[in-house]
Amino acid sequence: MTREPVLGTPVPRLEAETKTHGTARYAGDVLPEHLAFAWPVPATVALGRVAGIDADDAARAPGVLAVLTHENAPRLHPGEDGTLDVLQSPAVPHRGWPAALVVADTLDNAREAAALLRVRYEPETAELLTGPQDPRAYRPEQANGGHEADLDTGDFAEAFAAAPVRLDLTYRIPALHNHPMEPHTSTALWQENGDLVVYDSNQGSTTVRDTLADLFGLEPGQVRVITQHVGGGFGSKGTPRPQAVLAAMAAKVVGRPVRLALPRGQMAALVGHRAASVQRVRLGADPGGRLLALAHDAFNSTSTVREFAEQSAVPARVMYAVGNLRTTHRVAALPIPSPSWMRAPGECPGMFALESAMDELACSCGVDPIELRVRNEPTVEPGSGRPFAARSLTECLREGARRFDWDRREPAPRSRREGRLLLGTGVAASTYPLLLVPSRAEVQAVAGGFEVRVNATDIGTGARTVLAQIAADALDVPLESVRIRIGDSALPPAPVAGGSAGTNAWGWAVHDAARALRRQLADGGPDLAAADTGAAVADAPDLARHAFGAQFAEVAVDRDTGEVRLRRLLGVFAVGRVLNPRTARSQLAGGMAMGASMALMEGSPLDAAFGDFTARDLAAYHVAGYADLPRMEVAWLDETEPHATPMGSKGIGEIGIVGTAAAVANAVHHATGVRVRDLPLHVERLL
């Protein structure tokens, strides 16, 4: 029997109704009996140590159950991630680090008592301002994602010196914050047998379970982390966060369940950010714009608690044909909050610099920016020499050009006006790697259908829905007969919703388990099958696998006020097979919106006196809203990636943000003739 295909169709989110009806349960919605509430007390010095804590008034305040400090908090077994070693020593590595935790019977009482705590600090001084020339800058062992910090091919210096066209450009991006709508929240409770249960908001609860087990000296089987719904993460929930550790500590001390929802104002210092970065790009080319030499030197600040080297120079190893390539990463560890993953770490900031520089090269050579990119298409991945599994960048650029009437564009800047408005268009390329990560899944025949079990996390993307589609397709049954169980570390272990890799990892295991079950049932075998993508991942052929895309922006800039308005945003992507066009469109458009927001508005200034971020709420940290954005146009090519997963998909969570900011900045240059290399594109940079 042939049925209507379910994979590749726009199935609405399975949990849509529970979310719109308010019955979906998030980590802060569970209400165990005798629930208590915790409120952290952030350190108020940039660097130093806690010299004394006077907790008398706080301890006597109404409803207070405990005041945890480094002197009385449960001892942890420290792991690799120093951001989780909370309340273990008097050291204050940065402002906003938790100096204490107050636990009370109500949230209000906890917050009131926290204000009564008197913490005395012995401050130290440190120099914060930094750049690539900072003597403290060093070469990290690896850039984020396991990439080599430095990679050279050919001889950049010689080729650059001899190149007829030379550009030496420096781009700056401020610290950026993920700020998901749902703050980082945990509700922790210890069971009578000593097991720990945590309802936690994260991007992968298998990882959180394993980390908590290590920190508290438990076996993984003694910890259960439940993550049914998540109100956004954007990378900030990709690693376990201190609220889970603090909530578990507090619950242990007071012998009651404890909830800790990080206050928005404390998140900026505690849950990561995109590191402030400086990138130098040097391009040497012939007069026709063919690259002869390319250097991308990336620098970012990190903390003393956890090193994070944003892999911004990595896309230069992928994008363009150039024999003489130099890519480097340097970091300086400062007494500031720890940076971490934020949507497309590396690719997002790196492609702002590289794709702005390519636009500058196009202008210098008088070559159309699309033609320039096509002229520099590589036949193999330049950094590795590996052939590409599928590379459709040129097709994305051409399809975008067609939809954007690019051939009617007048190349000279400031050539289109509408009253006081200067109009311009810009283009930039996108890229994101296809990452293959092991996962495990089970599929069982149950009364009325099939149950799929995998500890995937739905961070708002529609993970449940697409896994149900994959399972129904592989089982050849209607979607309605598939029940999905995710978001619980008691389920088969699975990787985080991150690296645009979740659907491929979980989906591959689900697909294989479903196929195995179908075979078993046909043979009269057992009603349960499990599959592990691990072996298949290891066998993957040695090909360069990336998604590609092209971003197009049209802007109107007010000649008198410098205000930039986006008129049009178009993204054309080659992301392998699109498994659900409805949720895929949302992911890609969401990424583009975030990139536009980064271009025009976002930035977390660091106060050099306090070593902390000044914009610590959504009133001060500006994020683009609907009124700031044009209608988002998202398109994709008909592509499948036959060398990776059985679904033919690549990954869509992050590529939407990559290149968007460069497309907007390039459009602003086309409109105004002003080249802005420092984000965001605030009015003062344009006047």
Q: Please give the residue ranges that form the binding site for ligand MOS (CB under 6 A).
A: 203, 235, 238, 341-343, 345, 498-499
The Cα-based distances of 684 to 45, 89, 418 in angstroms read 32, 44, 22
Q: Mapping DSSP to helix (H, G, I), strand (E, B) and coil, where does residue 203 land?
A: coil
C-alpha closest to that of 171 among 686, 687, 667, 665:
665
At 146, list the tokens. Answer: 């396991």
| Cis before 680? omega within 30 | yes
The secondary structure of residue 255, as a DSSP letter, is T
Q: Return the sign of the alpha-carbon dihedral for residues 501, 505, 508, 511.
A: negative
Task: Give the nearest distance from C-beta 572 to ligand MOS in angstroms.
Answer: 22
339 vs 498, beta carbon nearer ligand MOS: 498
Give the C-alpha separation, 88 to 6, whole Å: 52
C-alpha closest to that of 482 among 525, 519, 522, 453:
453
28 vs 204, beta carbon nearer ligand MOS: 204
113 vs 351, beta carbon nearer ligand MOS: 351
User: Angle 660-163-673 (CA atoms, 0-180°, nearest 5)?
Assistant: 40
Task: Give the nearest distance from C-beta 343 to ligand MOS in angstroms.
Answer: 5
190 vs 341, beta carbon nearer ligand MOS: 341
At 307, list the tokens. Answer: 């090193």
Q: Return the sign of the alpha-carbon dihedral for residues 682, 683, 686, 687.
A: negative
Task: Give the nearest distance from C-beta 345 to ligand MOS in angstroms.
Answer: 5
Identify how many contiguous H helices and E strands the chain contains and give both numbers.
15, 28
Task: Give the nearest distance from C-beta 630 to ligand MOS in angstroms.
Answer: 25
Longest distance between any two alpha carbons in the chain, whole Å: 77
339 vs 345, beta carbon nearer ligand MOS: 345
Task: Give the nearest distance from C-beta 344 to ligand MOS in angstroms.
Answer: 6
344 vs 681, beta carbon nearer ligand MOS: 344
C-alpha closest to that of 404 among 602, 555, 290, 543:
555
244 vs 294, beta carbon nearer ligand MOS: 244
User: Which positions are catalytic?
Assistant: 654
Task: Give the nearest distance from C-beta 644 to ligand MOS in angstroms.
Answer: 17
Size of the chain in residues: 687
Encode burial over 610-633: b for 16+ CB neighbours within 10 A, e otherwise. Answer: bbbbebbeeeebeebeeebbeebb
The Cα-based distances of 395 to 105, 370, 410, 634 in angstroms read 60, 11, 22, 15
Task: Give the nearest distance from C-beta 236 to ligand MOS in angstroms.
Answer: 8
Using Cβ positions, the residue closest to ligand MOS within the complex turns out to be: 235
